[in-house]
Amino acid sequence: AEICGCNGVCKGKITGAITAKGLTGLDDVRAHTKASASCGSCTGLVEQLLKLTLGEAYNPAAVQPMCGCTSLGHDDVRRLIKAKGLKTIPAVMQELEWKTSCGCAKCRPALNYYLVCDWPDQYADDYQSRFINERVHANIQKDGTYSVVPRMWGGVTSANELRAIADVVDKFRIPTVKVTGGQRIDMLGIRKEDLPAVWADLGKAGFVSGHAYAKGLRTVKTCV
């Protein structure tokens, strides 16, 4: 039975990895199988498989470190940022005794987000500490290319917008174009170096990012 629809991971692969590789937590399963590593909607099922496979040895309450740079979990880091009045990423790393000087791709985006939330009027958003998808307004794919999903308000579009998308597809030789379940058009297979020019052309037609990479409200479906 398929557990993770995003990454096509079945039950057998997850339980097999838990047993064969000695996986003990959710992060381990994500790292080795990719299950629950995308949208997260299957997290509960993965945790059930961990409990079923490990039995009493499974301890979901154990603190999972943010990453290899620290032994602290997300909740502890958030609490200490507020309690100690830490307002920059370097200050957090120094005060909380980070194991690395610059952090990593896991902790820097998290710290940037926590600082923006806790000190919105005092912290300057560190653009380079955002996830790659947020920096380039596109979704990175398994093969290293990107997909771009322009905003289509309620699925409503026009001939001019469709022509603009068609022109971009032809100009940049985008191999795949797909209508999404969110009533938008997804262009897949775009090279990273082409993204600025792709968005420049789409912007001239009035398009903005559909934020298909966001962990939040991304689209509202409509009917007529």
> So what's the pLDDT on residue 195?
96
CATH number for the region 2-57 comes to 1.10.10.1100
| pLDDT over 70 at 218, yes or no | yes
State the pLDDT at residue 62. 66
Is residue 76 classed as helix, strand or coil in its secondary structure? helix
Kindly report, residue by residue over 73-108, the tens digit of the pLDDT. Answer: 888 999 999 999 999 999 999 999 999 989 998 899
Of 132, 130, 75, give the one whose Cα is nearest residue 108: 130
CA angle 111, 43, 4 (to 5 degrees): 115
Amino acid at 144: G
Cα 148 to Cα 140, 172, 193, distances in angstroms: 9, 12, 13
Identical fold for domains 2-57 and 136-204, yes or no, is: no
Look at residues 40, 59, 41, 53 and name the one whose alpha carbon lies nearest to residue 13. Answer: 53
Q: How confident is the model at residue 63 (pLDDT cuts 50, 70, 90)?
A: low
Largest CA distance in the chain: 61
How many angstroms separate the CA atoms of 106 and 78, rounded? Answer: 15
* pLDDT at position 64 over 90: no
Give the model's pLDDT for residue 86. 95
Predicted model pTM? 0.59
Read off the pLDDT of residues 9-47 as tens digits, 9 standing for 90 and up: 999 999 999 999 998 888 889 999 999 887 667 888 998
Instruction: Name 178's bridge partners.
Output: 186
Look up residue 38 and give its DSSP letter. Answer: S
Does residue 162 register a pLDDT over 80?
yes
Q: How confident is the model at residue 150 (pLDDT cuts 50, 70, 90)?
A: very high
Mean pLDDT value of segment 166-191: 95
Q: What angle do CA 84, 86, 91 make, to 5 degrees?
A: 120
Mean pLDDT of all residues in 95-124 = 92
Report residue 127: phi and psi, to 5°. -55, -40
DSSP string, 3-35: EETTTTEEHHHHHHHHHHHT--SHHHHHHHH-T
Give the length of the chain.
Answer: 224
* Residue 125: CB atoms within 10 Å: 11
pLDDT in tens, 192-202: 999 999 999 99
pLDDT exceeds 70 at position 215: no
Q: Which numeric CATH code is attached to 136-204?
A: 3.90.480.10
Domain boundaries, the chain: 2-57, 74-129, 136-204
User: For 146, which DSSP code?
Assistant: E
Instruction: Indicate whether 2 pLDDT > 80.
Output: yes
Return all residues near 205 (Cβ < 8 A) that are at least 6 apart: 160, 161, 164, 165
Task: Give which of 216, 210, 221, 217 is closest to 185, Cα–Cα.
Answer: 210
Element (H, E) at 134: helix 132-136
